Chain A
């Protein structure tokens, strides 16, 4: 996990699997987290206000915790956990300290180029042609006898 110069938070899918709570806490704090697969941005975790998206049952608890605790990826990305199951204070108090440490300890030697610039450069990659004429000529010559009578 690291934060780019333009305050974009990047994490890998592997980190999502192993540190789901941290990722979601970062999404809570920074608004969104970009998830990479094989170092390429593929997905985003975006914080939204559930009240704006879903009609909440008036009898249900008003405040829902957006951050899930169990590290199962699909369920965590979709689940809303009622406030009774998770103590909100635990989430609010415990996670920010971990988030600060996680972001602060990002090594400075992370590449400065944003992932999207690297992706753009790689898309223009000119691959080596193993069937180029020089290679074919080399093979033709290699197959000729060393000594001719």
Chain B
């Protein structure tokens, strides 16, 4: 059974833009989830004013990832992270999801999580 990891937004963005990066390899090795915050970040791009493109991305996400919702537990953990580390909300939500569900994070920018205790990287 594959280990589950949480994939950060920048990994997916890199793949969508270039077709390359760590995502294909991760797909082979791991079961992948994303935070609902990542879905938000992806769809917030003005590129997806075009509904057909937006639909492509949604289908891509649905096909390869399980979306972890932001429930009370994740929200409270994210708030704690922001208080302690002063990171942005999206970073805090991804980190909180990783910590609550005990998943390692796949990211192109591990430095973004500096100061957040307990976050491990895939």
Task: Mark A residues whose CB is within 8 Å of B.
Answer: 37-40, 42, 111, 113, 118-119, 121-128, 130-131, 135-136, 138-139, 142-143
- Which one of B15, B50, B89 contacts A135 once the chains associate, using CB atoms below 8 Å? B89
When distances are taken between beta carbons in the complex, the residues of chain B under 8 Å from A119 are: 19
Whether A39 contacts B88 in the complex (CB less than 8 A), given A125-B17, A126-B45, comes out as no
- Which one of A39, A42, A123 contacts B17 once the chains associate, using CB atoms below 8 Å? A123
When distances are taken between beta carbons in the complex, the residues of chain A under 8 Å from B18 are: 123
- Which one of B13, B19, B91 contacts A127 once the chains associate, using CB atoms below 8 Å? B13
B60 near A38: Cβ-Cβ < 8 Å = yes
When distances are taken between beta carbons in the complex, the residues of chain B under 8 Å from A135 are: 88-90
Residue of A nearest to B85 (CB): A139
B44 near A128: Cβ-Cβ < 8 Å = yes
Hey, what's the 0/1 contact readout for B43-60 against A, CB within 8 Å counting as 1?
011110010110011011
> Is residue B64 within 8 Å, beta carbon to beta carbon, of the partner chain?
yes
Whether A111 contacts B86 in the complex (CB less than 8 A), given A38-B24, A123-B18, comes out as no
Cα A111 to Cα B52 in complex, Å, equals: 8
> Is residue B83 within 8 Å, beta carbon to beta carbon, of the partner chain?
yes
Residue of A nearest to B19 (CB): A40
A38 near B45: Cβ-Cβ < 8 Å = no
Among A38, A135, A142, A143: residue with most chain B CB under 10 A: A38
B75-102 residues with Cβ-Cβ distance < 8 A to A are 82-83, 86-91
Cα A127 to Cα B15 in complex, Å, equals: 12
A125 near B13: Cβ-Cβ < 8 Å = yes
A142 near B13: Cβ-Cβ < 8 Å = no
Whether A130 contacts B90 in the complex (CB less than 8 A), given A122-B47, A125-B13, comes out as yes
